Amino acid sequence: MNEQRESRPRVAIVFGGRNSEHAVSLVGAGSVLEAIDRSKYDVVPVGIAQDGRWVLASGEQRFAIEAEVDESGTALALPSGEGALLAMEPGRIPVELGKVDVVFPVLHGPFGEDGTIQGLLEMAGVPYVGSGVLASAVGMDKAYMKVVLAASGLPVGPYVVVRDRDWRLERERVLKEVEELGWPVFVKPARAGSSQGISKASDREELERAVEFARGHDPKVLVEAAIAGREVECAVLESLGDAPPSASVPGEVLPAEDHEFFDFAAKYYEGQMSLAVPADLPAEVAEKVRAMAVRAFEALGCEGLSRVDFFYTPDGDLVVNEINTMPGFTALSVAPQLWAATGLPYAGLVDHLIQLALHRPKGLR
């Protein structure tokens, strides 16, 4: 019995993080902890508090992560009680993290989805779920993401990058560049996810407020021209062995009528959006979405799972909006729903991602 137990891969589920997507990560990690096959894997839950502390739950303990998702985030909710938890000082990492076979980082945003923890794990030689350092960093920075996608021949919409120095010292020039995009525009932090800090601007006054709002999340801001069209999303999954990545059936995001766009509330507040799966698209358009999603995945050099977001315009064109290298990962998030509709249920998706990481070679790939 003990020999069988010791032969099981030890999986660290890392969650939380030092950013505004902390609460979203908690909910996703709770879903993974619920779905992971405990007869197949030993599980080590590792949380990162918003103050930078790493916290380690006892190896055999199962616990629920409860977090109310709101735009202000939430504190890390971990079990209490004698022997339940080892809390590290800020900046120190539990040594137990080096005693696992694979890490599943259910982390979003800066210091989690941007290549930072991926670099730590690469240096330590610990396999992990998801994309590597470069793909994670490029996928996190929407400005560089668009450069890479466009260089790979994929269509992206017009945009302006607003850097910190330019906004402080050359604001008039920046405002004129944005005006050339036409109104309205959408303003977002360049390196944030979960639709944090996004707003719509229809004139200069609204634009200045929107940029300042986005700068509350990131000093680097992206301003995008509005694109009329339906929001279509497609998930991509790396295959075991030498087979190419596969794409899910596309889905269409349908925000509630009182949401002009797919913002934070539409994503995470109950009843604020629905997902039509499969999307009501002509067969040839659906296949094109899938092919372009795989192209985007490979353009960034992604691994594991990604979600690619498109606009499908009234003229029949497809424009790539962005790619997420660690998309929302609750059982009800878009990417898992797309895979469930394609025939891979949530628990199977979790298992597949862990197996990909376990079979991936270490070092340069």
The whole-number pLDDT of residue 331 equals 87
Residue 288 shares a structural domain with residue 332: yes
The whole-number pLDDT of residue 150 equals 98
Number of helical (H) and strand (E) elements in the chain, helices listed first = 12, 15
The helix/strand/coil state of 5 is helix
Domain count for the chain, please give it. Answer: 3
The whole-number pLDDT of residue 97 equals 67
Residue 293 shares a structural domain with residue 307: yes
Q: Of the candidates 192, 209, 225, which is a domain's last residue?
A: 225
Residue 353 shares a structural domain with residue 281: yes
CB 66: neighbour CB atoms within 10 A?
Answer: 10
The whole-number pLDDT of residue 55 equals 79
The whole-number pLDDT of residue 264 equals 46
- The closest of 283, 263, 288, 287 to 273, measured between CA atoms, is 263
Question: Cα–Cα distance between 61 and 74 in angstroms, integer?
Answer: 23
Q: Of the candidates 179, 203, 225, which is a domain's last residue?
A: 225
Q: What is the mean pLDDT of each run of 10 residues along the chain (365 residues)?
A: 63 86 84 94 88 67 42 41 44 67 92 92 94 97 97 98 97 97 96 81 97 95 96 97 95 73 48 84 98 98 98 97 94 94 98 96 81
| DSSP H helices in 75-191 | 116-124, 133-140, 142-151, 164-169, 171-179
Whether residue 32 contacts residue 13, with contact meaning beta carbons closer than 8 Å, is answered with yes
The whole-number pLDDT of residue 68 equals 43
Expressed as residue numbers, the domain containing 25 is 2-128
The whole-number pLDDT of residue 272 equals 56
